[in-house]
Amino acid sequence: MVGTTIGAIGVLLVVVPFLAPDAGDPLLLPALGVAMLAAAAAMEIGALALPRPAKAVSTEDSPASAASSVGVAGAGGPVLRIRMRTTVPWSVALVGVGFTVFFVTAALGMGLDGGGLFLLPFVLLFASLIPDAVMTLLRRRALLVDPQGARLEGWGVSAALAWDDVTHVDLQTEGRRPAVLVHGRDDAPSWRHHRIRIIWPTEPRPTRATLAVPVVALDAPGAVMVLCRELAASTLERRRSFLAHGATGLLTGDRSLV
């Protein structure tokens, strides 16, 4: 939707000089239009080419002396890494870069001693989107699952919750932020949460102990919900066995729980 809007504005800027020859510099508006069309094309291509990492699901063996994802020392066992898509941070980065270039070019074309000065707040606004988006792209975004609990290293948050503290798991498909929700007790001792940001927070501050994994960040949100429900309802030994032999197949569609 955002890419389509930017592309439509780009087309409008390209054709304005032909519809109104006296509408200022005949090269400035088409140049801005071409730049916005390029940004829109990059966003659409990125949405298709960049959402899935090369290996979205992998299993690692953690040494017995290593701490678990929720900080349990000497836990060890298999660790399932579910990598998150990059569509949203790429889109935010491209919007920030595209509109920053657009308003900088427009301000210089109008002259900073004239109307161009009033465009500088827009330059700062869209430029401020870039640092957090780039930081998100550079982080190792993933949902880490082991026999003791789960840790979310998300777009702008680091959070953890033990399976023994989980009350229920939901798949929220309505509202502004569809997500797989792993709910914990309000007094869960294992609950950890830290928002990561440079300028703008990309994740809301939680009001309770809940891991929220955005649906748009997952290849198979339904399978992730089923996985979390199974682990929350299982014993420690059952979790170890399932993560070692069946969890990857569940997420890739090669097997089911039935």
* Tokens (6 digits) for 79: 């660790």
Consecutive H or E run containing 245: helix 236-245
pTM of the model: 0.74
Give the Cα separation of 136 and 196 in Å (integer).
Answer: 9
Kindly report, residue by residue over 123-133, the tens digit of the pLDDT.
999 999 999 99
74 confidence band (pLDDT: 50, 70, 90): very low
Q: What integer is the mean pLDDT of 48-65?
A: 59
Give the Cα separation of 230 and 257 in Å (integer).
Answer: 9
Q: What integer is the mean pLDDT of 216-244?
A: 90
Give the Cα separation of 159 and 76 in Å (integer).
Answer: 19
**DSSP per-residue string spanning 71-102:** --TT--EEEEEEEPP-HHHHHHHHHHHHHHHH
How many H-runs (helices) and E-runs (strands) does the chain carry?
Answer: 8, 9
- pLDDT score recorded for residue 131: 93
Q: What integer is the mean pLDDT of 55-66?
A: 64
- pLDDT score recorded for residue 163: 94
